[in-house]
Amino acid sequence: MAACLLPLAVQAYSASVLTRAGAGVSVIGAPGSTEHQPAERSASTTKPEPLNLSNAAYALTTNAQYTASATGHSFASVSPGLVSVFASGQGTGTASPPTYSQSDSTGYGYASGGFADSMTLNVAGVAAGALVWVDFSVRFEGTAGVTRTAVAGGWAQGGNDYHWGLQITSPGWGAGTLYNSGTRTYQVDVNGNVTFNTLQFGAQPMGAWLMTGTPLGLNAWAWAQAFGRGGYSYCPSGCTDQMAGVAYSFMDASHTLAWNGVQGVKLADGSAVDLAGVSLWSETGLNLMQPVTSVPEPMSAVLLALGLSVLYVARRRRA
């Protein structure tokens, strides 16, 4: 799913979120699967207030010898200066001998959100319409990882990635559009080895020539996706009447993209400006000289509990 870029033009605040969750089960020789595939959900607003959206999906297949299930969850929250997204996917496969078949399931989720705002920069002693260099940063907070268990012939894997983008538009010669973006990935294979790990959280410093005394565009978006896959292969030698294989992978990817304030301002001649004489206010009333510190909803813990409850139900069903 492509992340949706926001318009380049300077505009009043607008926010939109998009969530989608999916779950798929693939079982050899096990008819009777049930699957729930929710439609894509989206919402938008022009009011400077939090906008939240969530989605979920599940699938299940059972027969006398093995069970496979999958779940996916997604959540996005947008408020002025901040975007938070969450995605999780989980797949499980269990079997009781004697069986010589194989099974696996995959759960996946993905979410995106973004906002468009405008801001005005004023510097004491500097006329409107002047270009000044502004050092600022955006901040990334969150977690991304894979939890896996594979015993008695079972296997599990999972992965996630997140994307972000920031645009600032400023009129005038020598200014224009600042655009920055990034992608981070984490993935674990069926042997438990980390095959990709480019996680990076914390502050991301940036800088741009901005015009004083005129509205500037401030647009940002974030997207996260996650998957978990688990199953079993063939009943290993020496199987007893206990479960021959069980594997699951629960993975969550969440991150928050937030404005992190201004760290410095310089005039065209390179001289530094006292930040006490600088103001940067958004149309939604944010003092962008300071970091945006709104705390997103603690969805990770909630969705982890939901995922583990699915595992418990599946294992009770097998018993």
At residue 100 the predicted structure's pLDDT band, cuts being 50, 70 and 90, is low
Which among 101-115, 148-162, 207-221 has the top mean pLDDT?
Answer: 207-221
**Enclosing domain of residue 183:** 15-318
How wide is the angle at C-alpha 303 spanned by C-alphas 297 and 308, nearest 5°? 155
**Tens of pLDDT, residues 106-154:** 888 899 999 999 999 999 999 999 999 999 999 988 888 888 877 666 7
Give me the pLDDT at residue 311, please: 42
CA–CA distance, 247 with 241 (Å, rounded to integer): 18
For tokens 């010589």, what's the residue?
A: 100
Cis peptide leading into residue 98 (ω within 30°) = yes
- The more confident residue out of 239 and 139 is 139
- The more confident residue out of 23 and 314 is 23
In a domain, residue 1? The reply is no
Give me the pLDDT at residue 191, please: 81
At residue 4 the predicted structure's pLDDT band, cuts being 50, 70 and 90, is very low
**219 pLDDT above the threshold of 60:** yes
The pair of three-digit structure tokens given for residue 246, joined into one six-digit string: 């069980």
**78 pLDDT above the threshold of 80:** yes
The pair of three-digit structure tokens given for residue 281, joined into one six-digit string: 């206010």
At residue 190 the predicted structure's pLDDT band, cuts being 50, 70 and 90, is confident
What percent of the chain shows pLDDT beyond 90?
39
Mean pLDDT of 289-317: 52
Q: Which of 6-10, 172-176, 237-241 has the lowest average pLDDT?
A: 6-10
Which among 80-89, 170-179, 235-244 has the top mean pLDDT?
Answer: 80-89
Domain count, the chain: 1
CA–CA distance, 44 with 32 (Å, rounded to integer): 39
Give me the pLDDT at residue 28, please: 54
In a domain, residue 6? The reply is no
In a domain, residue 93? The reply is yes
In a domain, residue 249? The reply is yes
Give me the pLDDT at residue 97, please: 61
In a domain, residue 2? The reply is no
In a domain, residue 4? The reply is no
**234 pLDDT above the threshold of 70:** no
CA–CA distance, 172 with 156 (Å, rounded to integer): 55
The pair of three-digit structure tokens given for residue 230, joined into one six-digit string: 């688990």
In a domain, residue 92? The reply is yes
Give me the pLDDT at residue 222, please: 93
Mean pLDDT of 291-317: 49
At residue 307 the predicted structure's pLDDT band, cuts being 50, 70 and 90, is very low
pTM of the model: 0.81
CA–CA distance, 276 with 271 (Å, rounded to integer): 15
Q: Which of 22-31, 51-60, 148-157 has the lowest average pLDDT?
A: 22-31
At residue 185 the predicted structure's pLDDT band, cuts being 50, 70 and 90, is confident
Q: Three-state secondary structure along the chain?
A: CCCCCCCCCCCCCEEEEEEEEEEEEEECCCCCCEEECCCCEEEEECCCCCEEEEEEEEEEEECCCEEEEEEEEEEEEEECCEEEEEEEEEEEEEECCCCCCCEEEEEEEEEEEEEEEEEEEEECCCCCCCEEEEEEEEEEEEEEEEEEEEECCEEEEEEEEEEEEEEEEECCCCCEEEEEEEEEEEEECCCCCEEEECCCCEEEEEEEEEECCCEEEEEEEEEEEEEEEEEECCCCCCCCCCCCEEEEEEEEEEEEEEEEEEEEEECCCCCECCHHHEEEEECCCCECCCECCCCCCCHHHHHHHHHHHHHHHHHHHHC
81: left (phi over 0), alpha (psi -120 to 50) or beta: left
Q: Which of 74-88, 124-138, 291-305 has the lowest average pLDDT?
A: 291-305
With the C-alpha atoms ordered 106, 57, 220, 42, is the resulting torsion angle positive or negative?
A: positive
In a domain, residue 302? The reply is yes
User: Exposed, middle or buried: residue 3 (CB in 10 Å: 0-12, 13-18, 19+)?
Assistant: buried
